[in-house]
Structure 1
Amino acid sequence: MKHLLTGFAASAALLVACAESTPYQRATAEGGYGYSEQQVEENRFMVSFSGNSLTERQSVETFLLYRAAELTRERGYDYFRLIRRDTEAERRFTGTATRYHDRFDVFYRYYHPRHGWYGWRDPFWDDVNLREVTRYEAMAEVQLGRGETPDSPDAFDAADVIRNLGPLVRPPVQ
């Protein structure tokens, strides 16, 4: 019994660990969860962050800004500008039918001369649970720059962004 409980606890812990939002990490495959970038010109990149269905929109947008700031510092620049920026929401519905039926279920009994009595339940009385699942992906065209940060709402000092958003960025658990 003790081994059974230990196995159950380990399985439950594994399931809980798998069911969490996307951490700040590089996307491991095309269409995977995490950040990716594509260089367009010497100082211009397309940056994106894609989250799973448990990742909130705000987290996806925060991780995008953080990656743009990291990329800016890695390339030896001081600030970045977001030329174009968008966050897309992919919504879908998942449904499950319940198999529980109580005594008030619609159930019919028939008598057949060769087979005797048999029952049939109406499948249209099943309960269906629908759940909306939303997954966010943020994308931006990022232009890197050197020197003083321009006084513009689309310009960000990379060091400030890293310092201010760093506490919100959660790396993957190893």
Structure 2
Amino acid sequence: MKTRLITLLLGCTLLAACASGPAYRPAVRADDFGYRDTMLTSDRFRVSFSGDYAMARESVETFALFRAADVALAHGATHFRINSRETSPVTSNGGGPSTSIGYGYGYPFFGTGIGYSSGGYSRTRYETVLEIQIGPDIPDSGPEIYDANELKRNLSPSVASTQD
């Protein structure tokens, strides 16, 4: 009996570990959580990060910036400019009123019951979309201009802390 219980607990622990993953990751599907980037022109990219329902807005914005630095460095640029930035809440609603009928038997009694719930829920997550520009025309400093290496170095501890 103890062996079965230990095996069951170990199996549940392994399944839970597989279900959670790193927060900073590519989004596999269009409606998935994670980052996406699209080359718009040879020097402009759209970079986005969608957080899950448990992720704070600040973390979503940090991960989008981190990804923008990754994109710039991957294309040989040391600096990038943010041309536009937007963080939006995405709210989903679900549930709603429900009715249930049940019955039961326990010697010597039999019973029925009716239940009603007016429940429902609302959850909010955040998505940040950046349009960035790279290339030789980007100066080393100025408004909305970032040093990609410095940004990655400064934000790496925040990103690494979510990579369970």
Change (3 A) 1:136 1:19: farther
Q: Are the counterparts in 2 of residues 37 and 46 from structure 1 also a CA contact under 8 Å?
A: yes
Match of residue 159, structure 1, among 140, 149, 161: 149
1:81 positional shift: 1.1
Q: Which amino acid aligns with 2:147?
A: D
Question: What is residue 141 of structure 1 aligned with on the other side?
Answer: 131
In the aligned structure 1, how far is the partner of 2:25 from the partner of 2:10?
26
**Residues 41-56 of structure 1: pairs in structure 2 closer than 5 A:** 41-56=41-56
Q: Which amino acid aligns with 1:58?
A: E
In the aligned structure 2, how far is the partner of 1:15 from the partner of 1:98?
33
Question: What is residue 33 of structure 2 aligned with on the other side?
Answer: 33
Change (3 A) 1:11 1:93: farther
Q: Are the counterparts in 1 of residues 21 and 163 from structure 2 also a CA contact under 8 Å?
A: no
Q: Which amino acid aligns with 1:123?
A: G
For the pair 1:6 / 2:19, whether they are aligned, the reply is no
Question: What is residue 89 of structure 1 aligned with on the other side?
Answer: 89
With normalisation by structure 1, the TM-score equals 0.72
SS for the counterpart of 2:68 is: helix
Q: Which amino acid aligns with 2:53?
A: S
Change (3 A) 1:21 1:98: farther
Question: What is residue 17 of structure 2 aligned with on the other side?
Answer: 17
SS for the counterpart of 2:31 is: coil
Aligned-pair identity (%): 34
1:91 positional shift: 1.2
Structure index of larger Rg: 1
Q: Which runs of 5+ in 1 are unaligned?
A: 100-117
Question: What is residue 105 of structure 2 aligned with on the other side?
Answer: none
With normalisation by structure 2, the TM-score equals 0.76
In the aligned structure 1, how far is the partner of 2:74 from the partner of 2:5?
49
